[in-house]
A and B are shown apart, each in its own frame.
Chain A
Amino acid sequence: MENEHPLTLADQVRSIPGGEHLEMCYSCGTCVSKCMIQQKLEPEYNPRRLLRLVTMDMREEAFTSPTTWLCSACDLCYPACPQQIHISGVIGAVKQLAVEAGYESPLETVAVDEALCSGCGICVMTCPYEAPHLIEKEVNGVMDRFSEVNAEKCMGCGMCVAACPIGAIAREGVSNEDVASQMRIKPVKDNPSLVVFVCDWSLRVDEDMSLLESYPENVRVIHIPCSGRIDPQMALMALDSGIGGVMVCGCAPGECHYKRGNYVSTCKMSLLDRMFGQMDIDGEHVRFVQIGTQDRGRIRHEVDSMLASLQKEVA
């Protein structure tokens, strides 16, 4: 009894490691309610439906679905799935098939400025998605090394932008210039100013985000795609320009949208803390807060207490 039917999309997905068990989905919707992308970015995003498209062999729809391209494999859904389906694995398998079939990622990805790139490879080490890699090519008759970004893999977190020592890698909206231009605050007398770098994914509830935006002018909110995008130099620049304090707001451990961005920022921020200690700078000027999905309303406490401690210093 040999199976002579052509492989269905489900068969193909199952045969890719990570794509197994997709037929176990009973459409409970847990993954969709866990995921931030539908709420924050794309209303059409729905992993449950993608799994359905795959089981029903709807190839074209599956390959063009935003779900296929936007999943960043944060795996918030996987531990919550009652059927223990590794959803990001299934989505990754669909994406792989889509790329093989010639579809392209609609995401805006980072690009390397070859005039600046020295080929040091720091971005290669930093990227959680293995998107950049080093290539060698001939420029003006001399072999040179450059970083090149695989657009199918890049999720646009900006960790490489923060890591690049020359600023040779960037994408619109998260380049060093874009961030720095937002940092200028007119000093208000007797009122300390605060810059809050907020990761796009860390505040699950819209109310928390609008609350943050509603602070008076001395609190400047700067949106970054991930707390891993933060560069300690930015904090130093901010403090240097007379801003009282810098707060970085990222996701709770284990909940990073880009796999390990919040781990990277944890390291950077604690390093900064130690530096301040060595430089004999007293008081709290930099704070890193990690807001979990269930920490509704916590951001208000954090900003208020930071402002209060800055106020104390001014007085």
Chain B
Amino acid sequence: MVDAARHPKIKVKTYTNVDRVEGYVGNFKVQLREKARYVRADKCNGCGDCARACPIEVPNYFEMNLAPRKAAYVAMSQSVPLLYTIDQEACIHCYKCVEACGALDAIDFSQEDKVSWEDIGSIIVATGFNHFDPSVIPEYGYSRFPNVITAMEMERLNNSAGPTTGNLVRPSDNTTPKRVAIINCVGSRDKRFNPWCSNFCCMYAIKNAVLLKQMYPDIELSIYYMDIRTPSKGYEEFYDRARSMGIRFIQGRPGLITEDETTHNLYVHSEDVALGKVVEHEYDMVMLNQAAVPQPDVDTVSSVLNITQSPGGWFMEYHPKLRPMDTPTDGIFLAGACQGQKDIPASVASGSAAASRAGRVLHSDEWAIEPIIAQVWEDRCISAQGKQCGICAKACPYGAITVETGTAAQVVTAKCHGCGGCVGECPHNAITQMHYTDAQILAQIRALLAEKPEEKIFAFRCHWCSYGGADLAGTSHFEYSANERGIRVMCSARMDPDFIYEAFRLGAGAVLYSGCHPQDCHYITGQLVGASRAERLQKIFEKMEMSPGRFRVEWISAAEGDKYARVINEMQKSIDGIGKDKLKAEIERMKPEMEKRARRMYDVPGVTQASDFSDTMALAMSVQEVGDGK
């Protein structure tokens, strides 16, 4: 950290908030709010005279509130840069610090937050994780029983720079404990709080036990665990070492801790799974190994940076296997445990990876993006005609579209990721997506529904999930109806209502509208745009008295090949159930309404030609079939 601070090309800005982020990859504009320290950074030399003079003591967060700090303080002695801060919430304005600072004159009570804009090429998010508060688990008695402590409190107690200079003592009477229990999975792997495994606590428990055993060879140590998870290199060997040192591992999650009110000793009740019976052991001290949880301000950070969260609140990566450091927004990368619970080696590795990903942005003059961006037909955009609209801008998950009444909507090409949400939403068909134009998709629909359309199940699949699901169904040999005809678009957001109307107008027996599960969407909120549209469509078709089962909306992930096959088979069953004649009559009845609803699409540039083209294709195909003697 000191090296980083001294590096001529690195600026370290501590006590600073990121308020706003604008722009795009390579060209971000970031608004920083440097909070007032009431100490001048250019003058303070970190001598600490102000803190010594300060009469106010408040709990020290860094020491897990086991020791006090002054109102004039540094967060920790290794802080870089070593600048003191005056905590205005605690300060009583006695100005003793000003006196103590003397000629240095570093203290300035008139300081205010400094807001500045910076040009930034790429952003790495490394906001880390937080600890679960075990006081919400009443059976463990944390915060009621003084000798029940958390892992972080233990970390301060056996740290030689900590409040006890490294002597492990019981908070109740400052004596050294002889018997210590460590309880794993406090708040992790627990559906009441956090369903995930916090990844590093098993090793952390073993590390603490080994450290204590080395420091106090006579200490009696027990680790209560459900499963010991030691999956990385050298971890299992470390676990072996801990057992050979005489540390007792008890399989069984304690259900209760009780306290002797005079000695403040603790009794841990658990089932010893190996014995199959309940055991009660007495300890002097109990350490709770609490879960890793996302930072409390993840929502703010994700809305400022326009990045997404996985279920639970960890920041979401672009792709879990192939692009684990990238966010959906180009030029913003994730490092460390903000992306998911990680131990130190994994955090360091992800930090290096994120730095090299960010370096690519900084070293390139040009940035390659997917060619499937959205483009506006300015003459068709009603905003250019002075009418209020902006539907496209609302649909865009990346904020890539700006709309000002009087001019046509503008797409910032570098921000566009090609989900096609704006294209699907635009009621005037004034935006198109390159390589997924209305004409191209329509040509596919027409070609696939050229013959016996009433027998076909037409599937719209999103590229990232349901197309993969269909693919998996195929490679896994899950049988499904051969009447399925599917096309691929990038996102369920691109599935224009016009396409659905057109498919029904052409006489499709059934239409499947499928995409990712909400939390899996590759385009941040693309699925939500698609899902709300699908809901609208369902209501419309209901009003038109369409037979149930002909229009179906399903969210199918790339891992759900079985679901894809099942859905298609169910759809086949439901059109079989309607009956051929009734179905044909229904298609004929609805045709004019479908045509009326899709009318705006027909005058989109290229659509007419596309129809002709696909008719020729269909004809050519059928001629070939005749030639083959079929």
Contact = CB atoms under 8 A, between A and B. Distances in A.
Interface residues of B, number: 32
A29 B190 contact: no
Nearest to A83: B191
A297 B226 contact: no
Interface string A50-93: 00000000000000000000000000010110111000000000
B191 A33 contact: no
A33 B272 CA distance: 9
Interface stretch (A41-49, A164-172, A173-181, A233-241): A41-49
Given A83-B191, A293-B256, A27 B273 contact: yes
Interface in B42-63: none
Nearest to B226: A28
Interface in B224-264: 226-227, 251-262
Given A29-B273, A33-B270, A80-B139, A294 B258 contact: yes
B255 A26 contact: no
A167 B253 CA distance: 45
Residue of A32, A46, A296 with highest tally of chain B CB at under 10 A: A32
B277 A82 contact: no
Contacts of B273: 27-29, 48
Nearest to B144: A294
Contacts of A31: 255
Contacts of B278: 32-33, 38-39
A48 B274 CA distance: 12
A293 to B, nearest CB: 6
Interface string A19-42: 000000011111111100011000
A80 B191 contact: no
A204 B255 CA distance: 13
Contacts of A39: 278
Contact of B253 (A43, A82, A205, A297): A82
Given A46-B276, A82-B191, A205-B258, A294 B253 contact: no
B630 to A, nearest CB: 31
A34 B256 contact: yes
A296 B259 contact: yes
A49 B276 contact: yes
A264 to B, nearest CB: 25
Nearest to A36: B278
The size bracket of the interface on A is 20 to 34
A293 B138 CA distance: 11
B271 A48 contact: yes
Contact of A29 (B257, B260, B262, B270): B270
Interface string A289-315: 000011011000000000000000000
Interface in B159-215: 185, 189-192
B33 interface: no
Contacts, number: 85
A20 to B, nearest CB: 14
A83 B252 CA distance: 14
B259 A84 contact: no
Interface string A278-296: 0000000000000001101
A291 to B, nearest CB: 11
> Which residue among B257, B258, B278 has the maximum number of chain A CB atoms within 10 Å of its CB?
B278
A297 B261 contact: yes
A29 B252 contact: yes
B253 A30 contact: yes
Contacts of A48: 271, 273
B260 A296 contact: yes
Given A84-B192, A296-B267, A29 B253 contact: yes
B469 interface: no
B255 A80 contact: yes
B191 A28 contact: no
Nearest to A29: B271
B189 A82 contact: yes
Nearest to B253: A28
Given A82-B189, A82-B191, A296-B259, A43 B252 contact: no
Contacts of B280: 205
A53 B263 CA distance: 42
A49 B278 CA distance: 13
Contacts of B251: 29
B507 to A, nearest CB: 31
Contact of A30 (B255, B257, B272): B255
A183 to B, nearest CB: 31
Interface in B75-94: none
Given A26-B226, A38-B277, A39-B278, A82 B192 contact: yes
B255 A297 contact: no
B331 interface: no
Nearest to B565: A1
Interface in A249-277: none
Nearest to A49: B276
B485 interface: no
8 closest residue pairs by CB, A with B? A29-B271, A33-B255, A82-B190, A32-B271, A28-B253, A34-B255, A29-B252, A296-B258
22 contacts: A26-B189, A26-B227, A28-B252, A28-B253, A28-B273, A29-B251, A29-B271, A29-B272, A29-B273, A30-B253, A30-B255, A30-B271, A31-B255, A32-B278, A33-B270, A43-B277, A46-B271, A46-B276, A82-B189, A82-B191, A294-B258, A296-B260
Interface of B: 138-139, 141, 185, 189-192, 226-227, 251-262, 267, 269-273, 276-278, 280
Given A32-B255, A33-B255, 7 more contacts: A32-B252, A32-B277, A46-B276, A48-B271, A80-B255, A296-B258, A297-B262
